[in-house]
Amino acid sequence: MLFKSTMNLIFDIGNSSTKVALFDGPKKITSFPTRHYSCAKIGQFLQDYKIEKAIISSVRNIPDFIYDLLTVNIPYTFVLSPKSRLPFAVNYETPETLGSDRLAAVAGARFRFPGENILIIDAGSAVTFDYLSGNTYLGGNISPGLSMRFKALHKFTGKLPLISTSEKFPSPGTSTAGAITAGVINGMIFEINEYKRQFEEKYKDGKVIITGGDSGYLSGKIAGEVVFLPDIVIEGLNQLLEYNAEKA
């Protein structure tokens, strides 16, 4: 895909935070996560850069002021949805329920590794396992993420404490806190390793990508080769923005 020299704004609203990114063609200029955004903050960003196109992706409801601010100030603003044009086929029985973050990750993986078989692991609030074969998205699985697993053990039991991730922990655990830590983290790693093993058994030359908020923590703990691409979702959103702008 050929890019013109224009600035693209990426607004990726996730479950726990929002990532804002700026691209000049395929090159990322800047990106930053934020939990708090306002008209003034976004307005200042729009003043600092000449932006020609924008894409909004959200797994939640999009605040009206964000949509209004972008559409008023940017010539082309595109909201990604399951009904959007995609540069790949989607083999999914309920495409209307497919999260925009998953579509974006697939688009980014396709751009990075065109024509290949790919397993995309997005380790965020939930962990998703999505499969791309050539130019066809085959579907995927969804499981609770690390933080969700820790919180669930605390919330749905009477005495188990709320624990967070740790670089070092005994296994088997020698305390309740250690047992929870080892159980949750090892459980996630074992789960990822088995998905990876089954995928590589079927696709000998396939690529395994990991992204998402917990991907940096998990990537070094996974067996074998895995491609760590923390920006694959925003790269995919940039691709989808360009693709739909060309078709507009």
Residues with catalytic annotation?
101
Long-range contacts of 41-45 (CB under 8 A, 24+ apart): 42/66, 42/69, 42/70, 43/69, 43/73, 45/9, 45/20
The residue with tokens 């009206």 is 64
Q: How far apart are CA 107 and CA 81, in angstroms?
A: 13
Buried b (16+ CB within 10 A) or exposed e, 62-90: eeeebbebbeeebebbbbbeeebebbbee
